[in-house]
Chain A
Amino acid sequence: MNKRLGTTNIKILVAVFVAIAIAVIALIRLDTTGKKGSGLGKEFTYDLKNLGKIDPNLILYKGSVRAISTGFTNSRAIALDSKGIIYIAGDKVIRKFAEAGNLLGETHVADMPMCLTIANDDKMYIGFKDHVEVYDGQGKPLATWENLGNDAVLTSIAVSNNDVFVADAGNRIVYRFNTTGKLINRIGGKDKDKNIPGFFVPSPHFDLAVGHDGLLRVANPGNHRIEAYTSEGDLEFSWGKFSNVNINSFCGCCNPVNFAILADESFVTCEKGLIRVKIYDRDGSFAGVVAGSKQLTGKAGRICNIPAECQSRAFDVAVDAHDRIFVLDTTKNIVRIFTKIKEE
């Protein structure tokens, strides 16, 4: 505790100078602005460039030479009617386009539309943040359904016979309405007795579609799978698994963000983060790739750098009667059309 001052010898002097030199080097190497990154070794690096690379043999589709420019600044959703007319929602308007890209008409709405679907009778069912509105084929408003509360974030809507299914990412539930807007039942809520784990929806991307077999398909993005429900809410089966490395699985925290069903009951899935559109057969087996990040964005890696940017960049997907795939690029607000070039 008490030491009398000693004389400085040369060894101590050298040791002190060496320590000071090391301290200065440590200070110089200090990265206070984060310019040098995490400083972790290569084993910690998540190299998306490699993950973004897709074997060309897996690509089954070819994109159209010219994309359809929608003129939106914030496009949200795409849907097609039975005649092949393309409907795009965004910027408080629904626009109709012909396949050639010419604008056929538009319907102005009061709020930002989040999702839409076109029924066989050409009625437009548009999902807003917390409610659904129905319009006729000419854009005339027909009905506004009940408000689903402050927590509601409607992200997908589908019509089948007399049922309208609405996905609510905020409440992690699917509502089944009839076509007059009467709530019939809720689907997918956590239920141990029915062996339903519930939906895990970390981000506002929660899609659904009705299969040709009549079963409702709902993406459970946090669990990286697509689940099949009866209209009464019984979970029949599910498929899909997580992997950041294997292309036959869904990557990231929460994928797929959107999907559509082809005529042969196979699925077109769309992933965010590492953007790619893929095909799975009716049983959920990976069949091939429609387009990867390179084909969709021109970059092999991620297209977003900050969480807010990633959040707004979930592409939407739709299919027509000829099994062509329409991908809405919400970054550039364009629609690319993909046509099959080879069999799986």
Chain B
Amino acid sequence: MIRFVYIIVGMAVLLLSSGIASGFERFPPPDFESGYEQPSPTTPNPRQDIYEYIDAFVLLAVLSLASYLVLRKRRRRLIFVLSILSLFYFGFWREGCVCPIGAIQNVALSIFDSDYAVPITVMIFFLLPLVFTLFFGRIFCAAVCPLGAIQDVVLLRPTSVPEWLESGLRLFAYVYLAAAVLFAATGSAFIICRYDPFISFFRLSGDFNMLILGVCFLFVGMFIGRPYCRFACPYGIIMRQLSRISKWRVAITPDDCIKCRLCEDSCPFGAIRAPTEDWSPQDYNKNKKLLVVLILLLPVLVFSCGWIGFALRPVTSRMHATVRLADGIYLEETGQAQETTDTSSAFRATGKEVQDLYAEALDIQAEFGLGGWIFGGFVGLVIALKLIVLSLRRQRTDYEAGRAGCLACGRCFEYCPKEHTKRKLAKETIDKS
């Protein structure tokens, strides 16, 4: 109860400190001719080089320490403390930027735009957690990601989410990932950063609606563990796939599983997989037929979703500022809009031809057409694979942490009696020596 009060008070303080500042615009804005460019209020100032490298070093150190705590020490309390430190360093101190999640967009843009080069530190932030995932599982989610940590803090009364619902909701994260890549690759927007629900807390400022969104995520996170990580995080989607093939990974028990079922309900993220039962011959045949149908359905789903993505290009391309501007100018030119906007006035002040703008907008829309095929095709492929996986037989004899879904938080360790026996033995050995 006291913890609950602390959290409510903390959230209220964050909200208040992010309130609207009073102030007046001084008109007209000073118009210097010194070449000075007004800083953008939506993007924090870049950090000095040395700090960027320090950040990269801290990331490496925290990932290493987290791997040690998760796989060797197996202590939830220490993992939690480390995640709180990460929350303050990577979240509040570094104001959540650069983060590996948003770096997806930098990488996507650099691939499709030869004029854009990813800074080395951004690349480090993008790759390092993935490399660690390949070796140790989702260590980054466990104790390094500030977005995960802030949700972990508020998790008061975890409730279970049915597996079918969890799997269905996770589809949103795949769509989000595909959309983030599409919009970044076309130079339209970095939507992961724009819609980061916790960034307002980290920067102690932001749009009121984003604050509301963050509060809602935290509220839901009180009952459903880490909703952003499980159902929205695009980086989590990449890590899920890499974690499936990781060299080492979290094991609930340090020894053989005795199937005591004590750990069964310990994971608030629904990542513990129970032992499977053998299928009856009827079930086997039924699922075999279903698998054939679904495999045949795969290209249909990929094509139809791809087509939908392509058909949506008039909508999706409006994320690009040039297309929006061309739309606005067109409405003004055809008399459908009565008043000009700041953007259209600024465009006209450049003296550029309207027809050139329209041509540019059409080129961008064509890019969105191709991107739409890829985006939709990817989503269709994910849906098809999810359906196929349902018809595949899984063989598990023990309670296991799901390879993809386990966030390596270490909550389940404490529930395993074998863990306690091991610790007791270790303590006795130390005492004797």
Contacts and interface: CB of A to CB of B under 8 A. Distances in A.
Interface of A: 1-8, 12, 15-16, 19-20, 22-23, 26-27, 29-33, 39-40, 44, 46, 48, 153, 202-204, 244, 251-254, 272-274, 302, 304-311
Given A15-B223, A254-B30, A3 B156 contact: yes
Contact of B345 (A39, A253, A306): A306
A32 B189 contact: yes
Nearest to A305: B345
A311 B33 contact: yes
Interface residues of B, number: 50
Contacts of B80: 1
Contacts of B155: 3
29 contacts: A3-B155, A4-B265, A5-B268, A12-B157, A12-B159, A12-B223, A15-B219, A16-B223, A16-B224, A19-B220, A26-B212, A29-B209, A30-B207, A31-B207, A39-B208, A46-B25, A203-B31, A204-B33, A251-B27, A252-B28, A253-B26, A272-B28, A273-B27, A273-B28, A305-B345, A305-B349, A306-B349, A310-B28, A310-B31
Interface string B65-81: 00000000000110010
B265 A5 contact: yes
Contacts of B324: 33
Contact of B411 (A2, A29, A203): A2
Given A5-B160, A23-B212, A153 B33 contact: yes
Contacts of A274: 27-28
Contacts of A254: 30
Contacts of B209: 26-27, 29-31
B41 to A, nearest CB: 11
B144 interface: no
Shortest Cβ-Cβ A-B pairs, 5 listed: A23-B216, A273-B28, A26-B212, A5-B265, A305-B345
Contacts of A3: 155-158, 268
A6 B157 CA distance: 7
A309 B213 contact: no
B228 to A, nearest CB: 11
A5 B412 CA distance: 11
Contacts of B353: none
Contacts of A30: 195, 207, 209-210, 213
B342 interface: yes
A79 B15 CA distance: 59
A214 B160 CA distance: 89
Nearest to B81: A1
Nearest to B22: A44
B358 interface: no
A46 B27 contact: yes
Given A46-B25, A153-B33, A306-B349, A23 B217 contact: yes
A26 B210 contact: yes
B351 to A, nearest CB: 11
Contacts of A26: 209-210, 212-213, 216
B154 to A, nearest CB: 12
Contacts of B77: 1
Contact of A4 (B20, B25, B29, B266): B266
Given A1-B411, A26-B216, 13 more contacts: A2-B266, A3-B268, A7-B159, A15-B219, A16-B224, A20-B216, A20-B220, A23-B217, A27-B213, A253-B30, A305-B349, A306-B345, A309-B345
B260 interface: no
A238 to B, nearest CB: 21
Nearest to A44: B24
Contacts of A22: 212, 216
Interface string B106-144: 000000000000000000000000000000000000000
Contacts of A19: 216, 219-220
Nearest to A244: B27
A306 B342 contact: yes
Nearest to B33: A204
A8 B210 contact: no
Contact of A6 (B29, B159, B210): B159
